[in-house]
Amino acid sequence: MNLIIDVGNSFVKLAVFEKSKLKHKEVVELKLILETTNVLKEKYPAIKRAIISSVGNLSESVVNTIGKSFDVMILDSEVKLPFKNLYATPNTLGVDRIALVCASVEQFPNNNVLIIDAGTCITYDFVTLKNEYKGGAISPGIRMRYKSLSNLTANLPLLDSEIPKSITGDSTNESIHSGVVNGILKEIDGVIEEYNRLYSDLTVILTGGDANFLSKQLKSSIFANSNFLLEGLNFILQFNSNE
C-alpha cells in the first residue's frame, strides 16, 4: 500500500492506495500532518511507501519523522517520470503539475490531453499523444479573482463564489459574480476551443478544488476528476518502484 501526501500552503491531502485503487482520502490542517500519518499507519499497517508533494512549507524535521515510518520519496524535478519534459525551464515546473501530467499519461495513453486544474490558480497543461509535455498556462483562480477585486479597490466587497443569475449583473454583487465566474468559464471554454483547433482527438480533464463548481457550467466536453492529482502521485511512486 502507498501513502500519498499532497502538501498545500495551509492544508494537506492524504490518501491511501492499494495498487491503483483509492482506499482512503482526507484533508487536514498542515499542523496535523504527523498526527494523521500516525493514525493512518495504525489503520493501514500494510503501508510501506509514501510520496510527498509539497508546494507549501513543510519542514525537514517533519519529513524526517515521516521517513522513520515509511520509505519516502520527495517529488521534485529529478524524479524519474513517464513522459518527455519539453518545458523550457523544467526545474521550475511545479510538482502539482508534474503529478497531473503523470496521471494523464497513465490513464489516457496515446492521447492528446489538456489538464485543467482549477484551484488557487488555474493551470493548463498539455501532453501530446507521444507523451511529450509541452507546457501550458497559469491564470488566477476563482478565489484569487474575488479577493483581488476586494483588496485592490476601495468599495468592492469580498464575496463567496456563486453562480451568476445572468450575464448582466443588476447589482454590484451580481456584477462581480458575473465578471468573475463568467470570465473564468469563457476563459476555459476558449482555451479548450483553441486546443481543439490545434490538435485532433483532444481529451480534456478538469480537476482541482473548484472543478465541481465549474464542470456543469462549461460548454466544452470534459472529464471531471477531483482525485486526478492524487492518482498521479500514486502512479509516480509505482513507476519508480517498477510495479
Query: Does 181 count as an annotated binding residue?
Result: no
Q: Name the domain count of the chain.
A: 2
- By residue range, what is the domain housing residue 117? 84-233
Q: What percent of the chain has pLDDT over 90?
A: 86
Residue 188 burial (10 A CB sphere; 0-12, 13-18, 19+): buried
Report whether pLDDT(242) > 70: no
With respect to residue 243, please indicate whether it lies within any of the assigned structural domains: no
Task: Determine, yes or no, domain membership for 240.
Answer: no
High-pLDDT (> 70) share of the chain, %: 99
Residue 70: per-residue pLDDT? 95
Q: Would you state the pLDDT for residue 10?
A: 75
Convert the pLDDT of each residue in 42-99 to its tens digit. 999 999 999 999 987 788 999 999 999 999 999 998 899 999 999 999 999 999 999 9
What pLDDT score was predicted for residue 48? Answer: 94
Instruction: Tell whether 16 and 125 lie within a shared domain.
Output: no
- Do 63 and 98 belong to one domain? no
Contacts of 165 (CB under 8 A, 6+ apart): 174, 177
Q: CA distances (Å), 44 to each of 10, 24, 175, in order?
A: 25, 10, 49
Average pLDDT over residues 213-239: 92
Instruction: Determine the pLDDT at residue 243.
Output: 53
What local confidence, expressed as pLDDT, does residue 9 receive?
74
pTM above 0.95, yes or no: no
Helix (H, G, I), strand (E, B) or coil at 119: coil
The pLDDT value given to residue 220? 84
Average pLDDT, the chain: 94
Q: Is 95 annotated as a binding residue?
A: yes
Q: Name the residues annotated as catalytic.
A: 96
Assigned domain for 52 exists: yes
Q: Same domain for 70 and 96?
A: no
Is 125 part of any known ligand binding site?
Answer: no
Residue pair 113/104 in contact by the 8 Å Cβ criterion: yes
